[in-house]
């Protein structure tokens, strides 16, 4: 796989050694067991796969290339390049400005963007409507396009499904940048609908099976379907694609469930005509991180720390998995851990911050599970480990623990 030129401030000696060790031990990535760092009074069990994925490293390399190649020019990102505050703040400090926020709210009016400005498209991609607007303004859109290749793969699959007369069902968060972009690409060649979870898949199934009147469809899914979507025709042949950062098992569950719905309506022998096989739209990095988290959770531990941006979809799903098993703290970086022993952590369900006192148990040996989202720098993970180690003054030296690997 391609190696990217990642700025030094995102690299970590500690995490780099761990990843190198696991890569040498398991080059084919078949072993999902965690890496254990035994410091004596505390043990860190670190997920086999975590941190920057291919798409994020690609986006970072291109963004910094834009800065290096255009001194003195105004450089704009359409929105946050990835969902990580440390990375985005660093880009802002170097003069890059964001045209929109993550929900699509305009921060800089289009009238202020001119043809001699530099535009960087974020890793999530953007809509065809915005691309058209940029081209009409005379802006170059391909040179610094950081759209993740695995996102564009979903768009290509959507295009294929549309040409085969399937309606597109997108499993994603409606306001997420990637979902908005995928919806834009999907609806150009096919009727398209966004559903966020299994509950909405069940509601959709009731329309397919005639358990709900079709005149309620547009109210139920208001704002989530393409203008030409006719539920009387367009629910006959469907294919499920996804926002690549969704919980893979949920996408698979939704696809399997809807396949069963089509079998019930049209018969098993005809279901392949009415339900497309779309398992190939799942992102490898999302799958690896989630599978590694499942394996991580087989380890007996006292708590889990999940590190990443609070608006990061893939990170929130790792939190979701961990919360089912043990106390879990979702933090953006080491600054959320206070010297007093308190921790500020994010509740993704309510989008609120909480403060927990004395979150580390008083034991002879504390076991902590650690993982991070696909947009989280290794240096951020290292900072969290070092902060946690500060609560265990009699622990082994880091160099010794790494040597013991």
Catalytic site residues?
178
Which residue stretches of 26-148 are H helix? Answer: 54-69, 85-93, 128-136
C-alpha span between 260 and 17 (Å, rounded) = 46
The pair of structure tokens assigned to 335 is: 């600054």
The pair of structure tokens assigned to 141 is: 């859109």
- Look-up: residue for tokens 């290509």? 156
Neighbour tally for 397: CB within 10 Å:
10
- Write phi, then psi, for 371 (nearest 5 degrees): -150, 175
Cα Rg for the chain, rounded, in angstroms?
23
The pair of structure tokens assigned to 9 is: 């401030």
- CA–CA distances in Å: residue 312 to residues 84, 261, 295: 7, 32, 22
Do the Cβ atoms of 296 and 34 come closer than 8 Å?
yes
| Angle subtended by helix axes 198-208 and 248-266, to nearest 10 | 10
């Amino acid at each position: 796989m391609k190696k990217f030129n990642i700025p030094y401030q995102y690299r970590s000696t500690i995490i780099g050694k761990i990843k190198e060790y696991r890569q040498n031990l398991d080059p084919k990535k078949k072993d999902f067991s965690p890496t254990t760092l035994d410091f004596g009074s505390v043990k860190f069990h670190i997920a086999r796969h975590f941190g920057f994925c291919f798409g994020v490293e690609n986006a970072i390399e291109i963004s910094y290339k834009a800065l290096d190649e255009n001194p003195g020019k105004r450089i704009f990102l359409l929105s946050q390049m990835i969902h990580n505050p440390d990375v985005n703040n660093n880009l802002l400090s170097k003069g890059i400005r964001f045209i929109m926020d993550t929900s699509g709210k305009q921060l800089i009016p289009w009238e202020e963007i001119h043809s001699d400005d530099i535009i960087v498209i974020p890793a999530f991609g953007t809509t065809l409507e915005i691309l058209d607007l940029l081209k009409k303004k005379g802006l170059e859109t391909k040179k610094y396009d950081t759209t993740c290749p695995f996102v564009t793969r979903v768009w290509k699959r959507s295009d294929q499904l549309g040409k085969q007369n399937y309606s597109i069902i997108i499993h994603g968060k409606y306001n997420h940048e990637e979902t908005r972009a995928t919806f834009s690409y999907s609806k150009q060649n096919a009727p398209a609908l966004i559903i966020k979870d299994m509950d909405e898949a069940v509601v959709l199934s009731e329309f397919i099976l005639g358990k709900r009147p079709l005149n309620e469809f547009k109210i139920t899914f208001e704002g989530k379907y393409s203008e030409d979507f006719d539920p009387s025709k367009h629910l006959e042949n469907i294919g499920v694609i996804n926002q690549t950062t969704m919980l893979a098992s949920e996408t698979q569950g939704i696809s399997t469930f809807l396949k069963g719905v089509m079998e019930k309506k049209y018969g098993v022998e005809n279901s392949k005509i009415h339900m497309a096989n779309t398992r190939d739209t799942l992102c490898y990095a999302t799958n690896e991180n989630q599978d590694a988290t499942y394996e991580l959770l087989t380890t007996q531990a006292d708590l889990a720390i999940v590190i990443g941006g609070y608006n990061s979809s893939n990170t929130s799903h790792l939190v979701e998995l961990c919360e089912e098993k043990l106390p879990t703290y979702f933090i953006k970086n080491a600054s959320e851990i206070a010297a007093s022993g308190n921790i500020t952590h994010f509740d993704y369900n309510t989008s609120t911050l909480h403060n927990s006192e004395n979150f580390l148990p008083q034991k002879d040996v504390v076991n902590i599970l650690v993982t991070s989202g696909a947009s989280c720098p290794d240096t951020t993970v290292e900072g969290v480990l070092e902060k946690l180690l500060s609560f265990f003054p009699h622990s082994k030296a880091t160099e010794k623990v790494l040597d013991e690997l």
